[in-house]
Amino acid sequence: MPVFASDTASVTLDEAIAIALSQNTQARIAFEAIGERTAEARQAGLPPNPELGLEVENVLGSGLYRGTEEADVTLGLTQRIETGGKRENRKRLSRLSEAVAAAERDVVERRLREAVTHAFNGLLAAQQEAETTSAAAERVRGLVPALRQRFERGASSEADLNRGLLALDLAEIRAGTKQAELRTAQQTLLALWSESAYRPLRAEGAFAVPATPLPGLDELEAMLDSHPAVLGGQQTVSVRRAAFDLEKSNAYPDVTLGAGARHFAGTDESAFLFSVSIPISVFDRNQGNIDAASSRVVQADLDARRTRVELARELQQSHQTYSSRCREAERLGRSVVPTSAKTSAAIREGYLAGRFGVLDLLDALQTSADSRMQETEALLACRNALASIEILTGLSGKEEAAEGDAQ
């Protein structure tokens, strides 16, 4: 049973991440949100537009005012003057909102890197499992002729032959299942690239226990302070405070200044007009919006604290998984898998020499395959946990920067 098609495209982890960052729809939306905030900040700095007004009096009436000959025409210009620092508060709110959008984009990028790394590791594991089950089925398939020959010679029972055929059926079913899971793993990675059509992929890279030691948990938790979600939460609090200041400034009434000219048709004379209008804050002093903005500041502060706690919990869980599953994978790869493979080979030779029964042989083959599968599962959990730790703390970005400096 082939594990890969001839037209399978190979991809490394760095390539997979680069493709996702350039094609993923959610990442592109987050990037466009920054442009939206930038445009809003530009709009927030603009003053109110002046208004041009035309007023015509004493027209289309009766008697002397039947027509338009006695019309008095007034042409005026009014300008609203913002008070209380509204414009500056609005500009500051927009600038801070732009910073929040940038932090949200960074969060999306980090989460996307994590998802792609997990999907890539999942594809590596699926490839290894497909190869393991395919090889296991091939080993059992190679034993069937020997089982048949022993049965035909009367050296073993028909039950032994049936056990071998049954083991072959089960091995082929497992191999087919893992082949389907391999396709699912490929589709998972393609989905993160925002590709809807399936195409075969092969992940290229090492799939082993990481050799680089990690800092202690306390040091890792301190690195969470630079996580964009934490920084974004702090910036959101600043945004809510700026919105609170804006609502307080909105309580101050704006002044509207006007100037114009009036032409009196009856005397054919003209005069200038000047006006000033100020709303009287008797009922509406924006008190409801001010109180609501104050409550939103408290909510943002609580949400920022919750985010920091959740990131710490996620880091602790990932660190625990990394410690336990990496040790498990290391032990399996160092002793269990080689020993089970050696034992399986020895029992196969002993079976052919008549020293072991078919049940011993099939059990040894199954144990060898199971130990490899268990190692793959432990490696996947270990490497995914490491990826989560690196992305949560920013370790992966620091390592990339260090490599770039060295070059």
What pLDDT is recorded for position 401? 36
What pLDDT is recorded for position 32? 93
The span from the CA of 369 to the CA of 132, in Å, is 7
Chain center to CA of 253 = 44
Residue 311 to residues 102, 223, 274, 304, 315, Cα–Cα distance (Å): 19, 11, 61, 11, 6
Confidence tier at 3 by pLDDT (50, 70, 90): low
Hey, where are the domains in the chain?
A: 9-47+82-251+286-406, 50-81+252-285
Q: Name the token pair of 322.
A: 């990394």
What pLDDT is recorded for position 5? 53
Flag whether pLDDT at 43 surpasses 70: yes
The average pLDDT across 146-164 equals 86
Flag whether pLDDT at 2 surpasses 70: no
What pLDDT is recorded for position 268? 83
Flag whether pLDDT at 181 surpasses 70: yes
The average pLDDT across 62-81 equals 84
Looking at domain 50-81+252-285, its CATH architecture is Single Sheet (2.20)
The span from the CA of 383 to the CA of 387, in Å, is 6
Confidence tier at 382 by pLDDT (50, 70, 90): very high
What pLDDT is recorded for position 241? 96
The span from the CA of 357 to the CA of 361, in Å, is 7
Contacting residues for 55 by C-beta, under 8 A, at least 6 apart: 73, 74, 75, 76
Q: Do domains 9-47+82-251+286-406 and 50-81+252-285 have the same CATH topology?
A: no
pLDDT tens string 222-255:
999 999 999 999 999 999 999 999 999 999 999 9
In this structure, which amino acid lies at residue 181? Answer: E
What pLDDT is recorded for position 264? 86
Among 124, 120, 116, 119, which Cα is nearest to 208's? 124
Please, what is the average pLDDT of the chain?
90
pLDDT tens string 11-27:
999 999 999 999 999 99
CATH class, 9-47+82-251+286-406 region: mainly alpha
Which of 31-40, 65-74, 277-286, 287-296 shows the highest mean pLDDT? 287-296
Flag whether pLDDT at 171 surpasses 50: yes
269-277 vs 255-264, strand pairing mode = antiparallel
The span from the CA of 245 to the CA of 292, in Å, is 12
* Entry pTM: 0.85
Phi/psi zone of residue 52: left (φ > 0), alpha (ψ -120 to 50 degrees), beta? beta
